[in-house]
Amino acid sequence: MNESCTLNELVLYLHNETSLLQTVEVQNAIDTDEEIAEVFDDLKKITGYITEISIRPAGALRESIINYARLSRGTK
């Protein structure tokens, strides 16, 4: 990735944490530099995976929570 846009700037842009001027500059870099566009696409995918993982706990975890709730309910 060239020096026109840093990874940190792409992350801030992805999370809407850039100023108006930074937003325009980063978007321009994405539009004109194929390598930056690819890195940005990868960041979006990774962010989507992280969001999905943090929203859906594993089945075993859900079962453990349900079982704990059942046990706790019986002891009160």
SS (H, E, C) 11-67: HHHHCCCCCHHHHHHHHHHHHHCHHHHHHHHHHHHHHHHHHHHHHCCCHHHHHHHHH
What pLDDT, on a 0 to 100 scale, did the predictor assign at position 75? Answer: 55
pLDDT in tens, 43-54: 999 998 887 776
* pTM, entire model: 0.65
pLDDT in tens, 29-47: 999 999 999 999 999 999 9
